[in-house]
């Protein structure tokens, strides 16, 4: 355990207000080494464990004062959870972007603040891109969570061509094909000829929440998510940005996360997928919109929901049969 500090200007009474403005745990994708990124005033201590329940609150892995970026001496082979303790309260943490060597857009839906001031639980729901390239170390990492269920939104031919690689802890797999606007590889290639790809992507997001087959698939998705035995659960498609992106948005909205925060999370796919498709986009620059995300894409789907149902909550509860009380009991911290 190390004691670290960065100097801050103190007030006339020689004390510091203990405020945590921002804090994140980041892991390097290649080495999987963790570091704490913190913007704070005052003293703090960080505790760690292989699960939320097993966090060792007797011995901190790091103590410090003020802001900075600090390496963490914790395991790189299994998932670790943290609790930050300061004068302003306690906060549970983990790395949101999982360091998958064979994946790009693999994220934990934990740690989001709701409008009521609660937080989504870490280590329960994960969104991802394709799982066919996961390495042995990736699977060992997922086994440590341990992942129990996997929902695959890809079309049957997509899943057959690049089947999932899963850790042995997975007991339930659910193929729930969602294919609005032909999201298969063949469909993507055909759409390269479209004159306005942005319009196509907006239309596809509208279909995700209005096409009866898509709505039925999301209804099944929420039925699985609301099963007490399903989590920890991964839901994924090929890029983890459109089908999985809409699913993540609907989950966070059902838990009471505000729309702008949901949008910010959606837009992070642009960052995480930049390496995955950079060579293809360099060769076919007109296709960039198919392999990235833009605010207008998700917004088109949200606007469609509001036009058709009056509100997002109406859509969730009446069309998708979401039990908001149960969702929040399962996936929000007390």
Q: What is the 3-state secondary structure (H, E, C) of 1-68?
A: CEEEECCCCCCCCCCCCCEEEEEEEEECCCCCCEEEEEEEECEEEEEEECCCCCCCCCCCCEEEECCE
Q: Is the pLDDT of residue 15 over 50?
A: no
Q: Is the pLDDT of residue 101 over 90?
A: yes
Tell me the pTM.
0.91
> Are residues 253 and 301 in contact, defined by beta-carbon separation less than 8 angstroms?
no
Q: Is the pLDDT of residue 1 over 60?
A: no
In this prediction, residues 277-296 reach a mean pLDDT of 88
Local confidence band at 184 (pLDDT 50, 70, 90 cut-offs): very low
Instruction: Provide the pLDDT for residue 315.
Output: 98
Greatest Cα-to-Cα distance within the chain, rounded to the nearest angstrom: 68
Q: Are strands 2-5 and 172-175 parallel, antiparallel or unpaired?
A: unpaired
Instruction: Provide the pLDDT for residue 287.
Output: 80
Average pLDDT, the chain: 91
Local confidence band at 2 (pLDDT 50, 70, 90 cut-offs): low
Q: What percent of the chain has pLDDT over 70?
A: 90
Instruction: Provide the pLDDT for residue 6.
Output: 44
Look up residue 211 and give its two tokens. Answer: 């096409």
Q: Is the dihedral of CA 244, 128, 271, 285 positive or negative?
A: negative
Look up residue 24 and give its two tokens. Answer: 């994140």
In this prediction, residues 170-196 reach a mean pLDDT of 72
Report how far residue 172's alpha carbon sits from residue 188's, in angstroms, rounded to the nearest whole number. Answer: 30
Q: Is the pLDDT of residue 192 over 80?
A: no
Report how far residue 46's alpha carbon sits from residue 79's, in angstroms, rounded to the nearest whole number. Answer: 16
In this prediction, residues 303-319 reach a mean pLDDT of 98
In this prediction, residues 172-176 reach a mean pLDDT of 98
Instruction: Provide the pLDDT for residue 289.
Output: 87
Instruction: Provide the pLDDT for residue 16.
Output: 43
Instruction: Provide the pLDDT for residue 334.
Output: 84
Local confidence band at 191 (pLDDT 50, 70, 90 cut-offs): low
Residue showing tokens 């907006």: 202
Catalogue all structural domains in the chain, each as residue range(s) with its CATH number: 1-95 (2.60.40), 96-331 (3.90.190.10)
pLDDT in tens, 227-264: 999 999 999 999 999 999 999 999 999 999 999 999 99
Local confidence band at 182 (pLDDT 50, 70, 90 cut-offs): low
In this prediction, residues 75-79 reach a mean pLDDT of 96
Instruction: Provide the pLDDT for residue 110.
Output: 98
In this prediction, residues 108-115 reach a mean pLDDT of 98
Local confidence band at 5 (pLDDT 50, 70, 90 cut-offs): very low
> Are residues 92 and 28 in contact, defined by beta-carbon separation less than 8 angstroms?
no
Instruction: Provide the pLDDT for residue 278.
Output: 87
Instruction: Provide the pLDDT for residue 171.
Output: 97
In this prediction, residues 194-218 reach a mean pLDDT of 91
Instruction: Provide the pLDDT for residue 94.
Output: 98
Residue of higher predicted confidence among 180 and 39:
39
Q: Is the pLDDT of residue 187 over 70?
A: no
Instruction: Provide the pLDDT for residue 309.
Output: 98
């Amino acid at each position: 355990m190390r004691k670290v500090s960065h100097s801050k200007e103190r007030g006339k009474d020689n004390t510091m207000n203990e405020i945590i403005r921002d804090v994140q745990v980041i892991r390097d994708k290649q080495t999987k080494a963790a570091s704490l990124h913190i913007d704070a005033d005052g003293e703090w201590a960080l505790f760690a464990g292989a699960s939320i329940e097993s966090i060792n609150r007797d011995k901190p892995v790091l103590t410090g004062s003020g802001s900075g970026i600090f390496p963490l001496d914790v395991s790189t082979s299994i998932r670790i959870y943290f609790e930050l303790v300061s004068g302003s309260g306690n906060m549970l943490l983990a790395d949101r972007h999982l360091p998958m060597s064979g994946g790009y857009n693999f994220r934990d839906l934990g740690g989001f603040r709701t409008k009521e001031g609660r937080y989504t639980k870490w280590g329960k729901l994960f969104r991802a891109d394709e799982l066919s390239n996961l390495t042995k170390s990736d699977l060992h990492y997922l086994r440590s969570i341990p992942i129990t269920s996997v929902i695959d939104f890809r079309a049957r031919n997509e899943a057959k061509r690049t089947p999932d690689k899963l850790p042995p802890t997975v007991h339930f797999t659910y193929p729930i094909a969602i294919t609005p606007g032909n999201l298969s590889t063949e469909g993507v290639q055909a759409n390269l000829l479209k004159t306005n790809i942005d319009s196509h992507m907006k239309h596809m997001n509208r279909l995700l929440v209005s096409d009866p087959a898509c709505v039925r698939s999301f209804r099944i998705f929420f039925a699985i998510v609301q099963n007490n035995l399903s989590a920890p659960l991964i839901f994924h498609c090929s890029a983890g940005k459109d089908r999985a992106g809409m699913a993540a948005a609907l989950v966070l909205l059902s838990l009471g996360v505000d729309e702008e925060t949901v949008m910010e999370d959606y837009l992070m796919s642009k960052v995480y997928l930049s390496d995955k498709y950079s060579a293809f986009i360099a060769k076919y620059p007109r296709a960039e919109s198919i392999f990235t995300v833009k605010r207008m894409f998700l917004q088109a789907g949200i606007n469609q929901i509001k036009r058709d149902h009056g509100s997002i909550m109406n859509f969730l509860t009446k069309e998708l049969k979401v039990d908001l009380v149960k969702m929040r009991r399962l996936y929000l911290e007390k």
